[in-house]
Structure 1
């Protein structure tokens, strides 16, 4: 299944199939004015990476695989919850979070950011590619999205 980010135009696609077929660390599937949908595939033993978004809420849903979700008010105060196919994770803005693949197959999930968090149509094959874009400042939301002041 091929997904093209046509945001901010109306869009519909089979998100479960697209998520399960995705092989990239992160692919932006749709960018709206107020939120964004990304597909993620996390290799066994790897993770999303411990992070915090001060002004971005996040919703994640696991569609395949198993892992552990870590969340809390600081990098050192994290609760751990085992997650698997069908689980959802809600991350309020300002919450430290990570999802670690503890299984032996890719952890397939999608994430919804509000407000939009990444550049429209971005595809990061690996976590390292995502990190390089963040450091270079090339993974910024489009100017037509609504961002916190």
Structure 2
């Protein structure tokens, strides 16, 4: 799960993932997670004040929203298989599944945001998890924790 070298079929693993979030690899400065968002579900409105994020859809149809505050999401774009969403640090953002099948995606955080190897079957389980911290060997920003709506 990291930080050792790794190679795997990212698209295949993303498409086969049935969990809300599965941490696929964790490095000192970067983390890859796989996500499956059910019909009508979303990744969750959040903000990473000091880190950028890359999200890529491998299956499904979504609505990507971003903006300077959680009540001002001025960016609103449809996204689908093969599209990516580039989230600048400090942007409030969310991706909602607007299709009729689970939306399969992966996301790259820099630095880590979750415990290496962590699997959350559902969004509710993820929200209730009080033991989902980046590894102590990862490099983290010195201030400004993530915010969730």
Tell me how many residue pairs correspond in the alignment.
141
Task: Give, in whole Å, the separation in 1 of the partners of 2:72 and 2:52.
Answer: 19
Q: Give unpaired runs (5+ residues) of structure 1.
A: none
Contact 1:28–1:120, Cα closer than 8 Å, also in 2:
yes
Q: TM-score, normalised by structure 1?
A: 0.93
CA-to-aligned-CA distance 1:7-56 (integer Å, 9 cap, x gap): 00000000000000000000000000000000000000010111111122
The aligned residue for residue 63 of structure 1 is 58
Alignment of 1:19-58 (within 5 A): 19-58=14-53
Give the CA RMSD over aligned residues: 0.7
> How far is 1:77 from its partner?
1.4
The aligned residue for residue 80 of structure 1 is 76
Alignment of 1:1-149 (within 5 A): 5=1, 7-78=2-73, 79-133=75-129, 136=130, 138-149=131-142
Which consecutive segments of 4 or more residues in structure 1 shift more than 6 A?
A: none
SS at match of 1:112: strand
Contact 1:56–1:117, Cα closer than 8 Å, also in 2:
no
Q: TM-score, normalised by structure 2?
A: 0.93
